[in-house]
Amino acid sequence: MPALLGDIERLVCCESPSADLAAVARGAEVVAEVGAALLGAQPERIVLAGRTHLLWQFGGPGGVLVLGHHDTVWPVGSLATHPFAVRDGKLFGPGCFDMKAGLAMALRAVAALPDRTGVTILVTGDEEIGAPSSRELILEQARGCAAVLVAEPAAGVALKIARKGVSQYRVQVRGRAAHAGLEPQNGVNATIELAHQIRAIAELGDAAAGTTVTPTVMSAGTTENTVPAEAVCAVDVRAFEPAEQDRIDSAMHALRPVLDGAVVEVHGGPNRPPLSSVASRALFGRAQRLAEDLGIGPLTGVEVGGGSDGNLTAGIGIPTLDGLGACGDGAHADHEHVLVDELPTRTALFHALVAELRGKDLR
């Protein structure tokens, strides 16, 4: 436990927000140092679009892919307000739960194998922003494997046996500027047009199907006394079924302006397919059996709305099990934390899964 906590502290204390390429590079080097010390081998450093990804491959492709990421949503400087700490059975720090602790667990789970042949570890640096540079790398590694184990955090203490697919959009409105006091009637108000669009967009969700359509970040206008000529809004879509992703995509791209003279443009689309329970069922059954053998059962699984790189591997038909990392709560939030007592048992489960799956063909 002290050694594992030490590894987690090293990872947490090297801040690595996705948007900061220098910080992502520094974070990758710390992961490489921790991993090399445990595995006795340096990773291949793969830099794509300025982002550093790490690959350890033992015995060539095939077997099991252990998948994780070292980037976080926390900006550099977050340690000043959210310092690394262990108290009252909980471990705190920016990115500890999502997913620095899971990385340390996965590296130790593989390091404990007497024979690592057939194991590949891929740690990416852009998961939190949708894997724009690592997507093809992930798919390339997954296509040669029989199973993918994702070191993302658990849902509390439950594994993630299904995830919604993710779609991302940017709705851009162009109007016409005018003086807000002298001649507002000569303008086309982009803010009002965007308000019409947001109302229509928000009605696309389907609670019964579990489909959510959420307008998020919005901006409009330039000065307080000018009719806004431009406005923009980001839209986050989550759905359990590909058909729902397609329905929303068609509706988003069919949006038309309400105000005369306004122009509406919609950019984006599906980013990650759903991770269905079918893709995880057999692996989850193995994990449940192994948990019972280890005396840490019963093991539960839940469906969640958040996406991960596991969605990508499941989307091409590779058996994928997610949520094998740390137990805890508060991903991306002020109360983000890891349950310390669960660290050794979940690392043992991760190890047992890799050991059983290594070299097998499950497809």
Sign of CA dihedral 81, 86, 88, 93: positive
Catalytic residue among 7, 9, 15, 71: 71
For the question of residue 241 being annotated catalytic, the response is: no
For residue 312, give every residue at least 6 positions away whose Cβ sits within 8 Å of its Cβ, in sequence order, or none: 131, 135, 138, 139, 142, 272, 273
Catalytic residue among 127, 128, 193, 309: 127
Q: Give the phi and the psi of residue 326 in degrees, each rounded to 5.
A: -70, 150
Sign of CA dihedral 72, 75, 79, 81: negative
* Distance from C-alpha of 318 to C-alpha of 101, rounded to nearest angstrom: 25
**Buried residues in 232-250 as b, exposed as e (16+ CB within 10 A):** bbebbbbbbbeebbebbbe
- Whether the ω angle into residue 298 lies within 30 degrees of 0, i.e. cis, is yes
Block residue for tokens 């690394």:
84
Query: Cα-atom radius of gyration of the chain, to the nearest Å?
Result: 22
Bridge partner list, 276: none
CB 110 within 8 A of CB 64: no
* Distance from C-alpha of 99 to C-alpha of 127, rounded to nearest angstrom: 11
In order of 135, 215, 220, 304, 308, the CA distances from 163 in angstroms are: 17, 20, 33, 5, 8
Strands, E, within the chain: which ranges? Answer: 44-48, 51-58, 64-69, 85-87, 90-92, 119-124, 147-150, 159-163, 165-174, 212-220, 230-239, 263-272, 301-304, 320-321, 328-329, 337-339
Strand-pair category, 337-339 with 328-329:
antiparallel
For the question of residue 71 being annotated catalytic, the response is: yes
Q: Which residues are catalytic?
A: 71, 127
